[in-house]
Structures are given as C-alpha cells and as structure tokens.
Structure 1
Amino acid sequence: MNLNEIIAENLKRLRTERNLSLGRLAELSGVSKVMLSQIERGESNPTINTLWKIATGLQVSYTRLIDRQTDAPLVVRQEESALIDNKDGYLVYHYSGRTEGEKRSFEFFNSVLAGGKEFTSEGHGANTHEYLLVTAGEMVLEYQGEEYVLQKGDYIHFDCSCPHTYRNKREETTEFTNLVYYV
C-alpha cells in the first residue's frame, strides 16, 4: 500500500469516526472540501502543511493520517521510509510507524535541504514542540523574527505551533532530524 492509499484510508476512517462531513472537516481544517475528497479517494498527493491542517481539524496527531495500521513491530529502513514531501529541494522522510491502539505523542522525521533552498512551515497545530538536530551541513532556522544558525551537531528546541522557516544559505546539502512532540 502506498502512502496516498494509507492517508486516504486513515482520513476516511478518522472523519467517519467523528461523524464529520467533508464540508464540516473543511471548515475545521481550512482545507477545501474538494481537496479533502481527492485525498480521501487517493487522487491527491497532499503537502505536509495540508496534512498538518487536516490533523489539526481532526484533533489528532499527524501520524494518525500517515501511519499504517498494524499489530506487528514496525522496522522502517531508510530506503523504505515514507517520503512525505519532495518539492523544490526539500525532502522529508517519516520514520515513526504506529501500531493500532498505540498512544504516541511524537513523530520522527529526517529532512534533506538542498543548497540555497528553504522551506516554510505554517506551524504544526497548538501545543506542539520541535526538537531538531542538524546532522550534516549548516542551516538557519527563522523563528519569530530571529535567525538561529545551526551547524552539524547543533540542536534546537522550539514551539512549532508558530510558523518557522528552514533555510540553507550554503551550496552544500543540509540534513537534519526532528522530533515533533504533541504536548
């Protein structure tokens, strides 16, 4: 099952469990009814920001939309990780599988940002924190009007419910891992 099929299945299940129409979920999430319908049918490749909005509207963690439902231990190899965003020099891989019934309040990602590129997140919903570790290169995190320059091995923790931008001002690729925690 590919990621779009997993998202489609989970979105329909979560929306139905909450007795929400597509129209009502559109109001709660800020994502259009047409887009929600396309995602539920597996006909759309939603962006990270779109998935965050839907998760916020459903009042669930982001992983409830992208994780396969299974009872077996889940090992995610690098080559099998879910590529959840791939646009304009920004790649995001998701490594946090979840088994049915598991209560987990975090998600684990590895990101690659090409030289001279940036990505802006609109924020990850209320009461979320991000723990970010640069594993290669250098990046600038722009957060609430401040710029934080982070080298390989540097770590930062911040309230990621606010918009923030990852920026690579260098030519070399930057890699970072981040854990998003739902308080």
Structure 2
Amino acid sequence: MNMARARPAPAPEPPRVGATLARLRAEQGLSLDELSRKAGVSKSMLSQIERNQANPTVAVVWRLANALGVGLAGLLDGDQPVEPAIVTVAAQATPTLRSPDGSHELRILGPIELAGQFEWYELILQPGGALVSQAHEPGSREHLTVLSGSVEVTSGDESQRLKHGETARYRVDRAHAIRNVGKSAATALLVVMHSA
C-alpha cells in the first residue's frame, strides 16, 4: 500500500513592514539619517527594511515604532494606515461656495463625511447679502455666532438681530434666512445640526 506523506503547511511569512515604514517616514518628513538617529538603527538596515530585503527583529520594530510615535501594530499591520493625530487643511484647500451674485460665501469647515449630520461653515455676507434656505428635515437646528458686523436671523415668522459676539440658536425645519443688515461685510460661524 502506497501512502503519501502529508506535507506540513508552509509557515506564514513574517509581516513586511517596508512599505509602512517608508510611508510613515515620508509622512513625518524624516530622512533615513534622521530616523536612524532617532531610532538607533543603522541607515543601511533601514534602507534594507524599506526595500523588504531584511526582516527586522522585534526589538528593531519596537525602536522604529517609538521613534515614529506609533504602536507596534502600526508598523506590523501594513494594510491598516495609521491616522495622524492632527490633520490640517490649508486655507486655500478649504472648499468655498459663493453665490452667483457675490453677496455671500460659505467656507466649508466641517469634514465631508459628516455632511447631512453635523456641518459647520464660515459665512461671509456682503452688505445687503442674504443666505436664504428652505426647510431642512424636522427637528434640525442652526447655531450662528457673529464674528464681525451685524446680521438678522429669520426662522419662519420670527426674526432676531445679532451683533458681534452674539449667538442665535434656531429651528431650521421651516424656511429661514441670515441677512447682513449692516453697512460693512459680516462674518459668522454657522453650525447646522440635522435631526437623526
């Protein structure tokens, strides 16, 4: 009787940290020399790791993770990008919506993934300019804080004037508007909270 020998399953490959290491180093603006000094790992070893020509020991991974300010998993799990603690958006990269007549503009300050739930904007109204909106879903509210100038907020049949430093909180499940009633441009922070 001819019995074939069972072959052992191949051992899984160790994690390849090269691409993750290179990405994290680039995100932090570190050269190989700088990371080498911070981590106490030779520049040639770092280069080999990034090109997947060497697999680092646990001690080396630990030193690299500490130098980069990430956990061990941040280096070992290359499929999961490590989100930086602080994300900045340059002023020129902030999306802006301008009315066709130039009477107002909204700078979108909130992240796009929260749109329809929680939104915030910088609103700039020229003299006589107005942001007029139809009703949002039932239960929705806006919070408007005037940073400069003076505005009038209308919600349904009610209106209220606001000056620098004042905040209005009002229902927007009815027609509503924000108007510049002053003689100079008005600026405000506008937060929209949609009902769930």
Note the residue ranges of structure 2 that are not aligned, 5 or more in a row: 1-80
**Aligned with 1:79: secondary structure?**
helix
8 Å Cα contact 2:98-2:105 kept in structure 1: yes
Name the Cα RMSD after superposition. Answer: 2.6
Task: Find the counterpart in structure 1 of residue 46 from structure 2.
Answer: none
- Aligned CA distance change for structure 1 residues 138 and 127 (closer, same or farther; 3 Å): same
Considering fraction of residues, name the structure with more strand.
1
Relative contact order (alpha carbons < 8 A, sep ≥ 6): 1 or 2 greater?
1
Question: Residues 15-164 of structure 1 correspond to what in structure 2 (within 5 A)?
Answer: 72=83, 74-88=87-101, 89-98=103-112, 105-164=117-176
Bigger shift: residues 165-174 or 80-89: 80-89
Report the structure number with the largest CA radius of gyration: 2
Query: Which TM-score applies when normalising by structure 1?
Result: 0.54
Question: Structure 1 runs of 4+ off > 2 angstroms?
Answer: 70-79, 84-88, 102-105, 123-127
**Aligned with 1:87: secondary structure?**
coil
**Identical pairs, percent:** 18
Note the residue ranges of structure 1 that are not aligned, 5 or more in a row: 1-69
Structure 2: how far apart are the matches of 1:71 and 1:162? 43
Structure 2: how far apart are the matches of 1:98 and 1:167? 26
Q: Number of residues paired by the alignment?
A: 112
Task: Find the counterpart in structure 2 of residue 61 from structure 1.
Answer: none
